[in-house]
Amino acid sequence: MARSSRRSHHRKRGGGGNSPAWKKSKLVALILVGVIIAALVNMLMQLMGPDKNRSMLPDDFPHTFITPSDAGTDESKIIIERSSRQPKTPFKAENGEWAWPAYYCLNEACPGRGKDGKPYIFPAIDPMAQQIAEGKKPEEFSPDMAPPLMELQCPMCQQAYVRVTDNALKERYVPMNIDKYQTEEGRQMFEELKKRIQEQPH
């Protein structure tokens, strides 16, 4: 009886709060917390840093936009707004429609491609932004909204992709094979910017 009680007493002492092992793990925990706090502070400093809102684009960078009814291969329908920052969309175009950032389809077999080989240009419509721009409250949002912007696809290839059942043929109409449309001038400005960044000492 006495022996067993002694054993249990000993066990209690061994797991007590002042053993060297416990002190060591407390120290490790403190160091870990310190490292995590330092990482968080560093992240916040970067987010709030003075360079956050500075645009690297030239003041006359030609941003490209298009309205839904002007989608197609006619580049003259593209609306150009010059600014170092991406202008807010949507904005009302001269034809009375909302203008959105212009994208184009990279698929060679795109059904929207012109006979002359020109790619299909279409607006990146953000359904949520459109309803907000129209002054709708969230409870008035239409339930059958178009897919969100992150799922932006070439509308012409998307239709073809759904129609075609042959998987080998489907590869020709990957609807997300798209890119932002830039004018030749815009592309050159981008290239110059890239070169400048690469030449900067690190």
Neighbours of 158 (CB within 10 A): 18
- The region that residue 67 occupies, defined by phi over 0 for left and psi between -120 and 50 for alpha, beta otherwise, is beta
Nearer to Zn ion, 105 or 125 (CB): 105
Please answer whether residues 133 and 105 qualify as being in contact, where contact means their C-beta atoms are separated by less than 8 angstroms. no
Phi and psi (nearest 5°) for 31? -65, -40
In whole angstroms, the minimum distance from the beta carbon of 73 to Zn ion comes to: 11
Residue 79 as a binder of Zn ion (CB under 5 A): the answer is no
Secondary structure (DSSP) of 11-56:
HHHHTSTTSHHHHHHHHHHHHHHHHHHHHHHHHHHHHHSTTTT---
Q: Shortest approach of Zn ion to residue 146 CB, angstroms?
A: 16
Indicate the residue among 149 and 189 with the shorter CB distance to Zn ion.
149
Interface residue with Zn ion among 67, 152, 157, 161 (CB under 5 A) is: 157
Of 67 and 107, the one with the shorter C-beta distance to Zn ion is 107
> Closer to Zn ion at the Cβ: 98 or 161?
161
* Shortest Å, Cβ 182 to Zn ion: 17
**Structure tokens, 164:** 């075609």
Q: Within positions 93 to 122, which residues make up the interface with Zn ion, using CB under 5 A?
A: 105, 107, 110
CB of 105 to Zn ion, least distance (A): 3
Nearer to Zn ion, 152 or 157 (CB): 157
Residue with tokens 């890239």: 194
Tokens of 116: 């002359």
Chain positions contacting Zn ion, by CB under 5 A? 105, 107, 110, 154, 156-157
